[in-house]
Amino acid sequence: GRMRIDIVTIFPEFFGVLDVSLLGKARERGIIDVAVHDLRDYTHDRHRTVDDTPYGGGAGMVMRPEPWGEALDEVLTPDAVLIVPSPAGERFTQALAKQLATESRLVFACGRYEGIDQRVVEHAASVARVREVSLGDYVLNGGEVAAMAMIEAVGRLVPGVIGNPESLDEESHEDGLLEYPSYTKPAVWREREVPPILLSGNHGAIAAWRREQQVERTRRVRPDLLGDA
């Protein structure tokens, strides 16, 4: 397929939904191949232990390096990008999603929030490109939800996954602005009218109105995107 995605996680069943979603079609059509790997399959003790107490003390547990090393030995190839969802990572953006959509191979390492032994990331960087990536400044219990979001954001940008590529052009963050408000029939709903400009057939005026809506909405909701203080 155009892209191969490997996911390493202690909750492999979590990713079952990828079989039914939009990406399910892409998988059927052989555009995107997804393989999920259970980290516990790379343990060798009776309890299939994946984490242990942190050196230096502190609360929580840290994921042991050995199982990760064996798992990544199996799935991480030099052409791949290893993505480690983490609140300590670089911000995930539409620009990064577009960049990742051009890759032939992505590997997602889903760790617990307390994190994976740092030597795993250090070792992986000697094999392939590694990016610690954050969905946002909040804390989840693990990387799975973040990986799912990133896989959806990237997957839909892979050529052939979306039926109508034009719909990708006018998306939020595509041009650095939030998208304009959208309307469909009926023209009046609960006494609320669709903005008359949209029914005018004047396409130049409509495009101008939409741009103004984008700027106004971005200024109101996300001034940071405009470089405003």
Ligand X SMILES: NC(=S)c1ccno1
Q: Which two three-digit tokens encode residue 178?
A: 């939030």
Query: By C-beta, is 27 or 142 nearer to ligand X?
Result: 142
Distance between CA 149 and CA 151 in Å, rounded? 5
Cβ-based nearer residue to ligand X, 143 or 155:
143
Q: Smallest distance from the beta carbon of 84 to ligand X, in angstroms?
A: 9
CA 171 to chain centre: 16
How far CA 96 is from CA of 47, 151, 152, 169, 204, in Å, comes to 38, 12, 13, 16, 32
Q: CB-wise, 67 or 85, nearer to ligand X? A: 85
- Looking at 10-127, which runs of residues are DSSP E strands? 32-38, 51-52, 62-63, 81-91, 105-109
Nearer to ligand X, 146 or 161 (CB): 146
Q: Which is nearer to ligand X, 85 or 155 (CB)?
A: 85
DSSP assignment string, 182-212: ---S-SEETTEEPPGGGGS--HHHHHHHHHH
Q: Both tokens of residue 18?
A: 């990828």
CB 180 within 8 A of CB 206: no
Cβ 89 to ligand X shortest distance, Å: 6
- Quote the least distance from Cβ 190 to ligand X, whole Å: 38
Min. distance of Cβ 142 from ligand X in angstroms?
Answer: 6
Beta partners for 4? 33, 105
> Which residues sit at the interface with ligand X, rule CB under 6 A?
85-87, 113, 134-136, 138-140, 142-143, 146
**Shortest CB 93 distance to ligand X, Å:** 13
Nearer to ligand X, 20 or 139 (CB): 139
Rounded to a whole number of angstroms, the minimum distance from the CB of residue 33 to ligand X is 24
- What would the two tokens of residue 223 be? 């001034």
DSSP state, 141? S
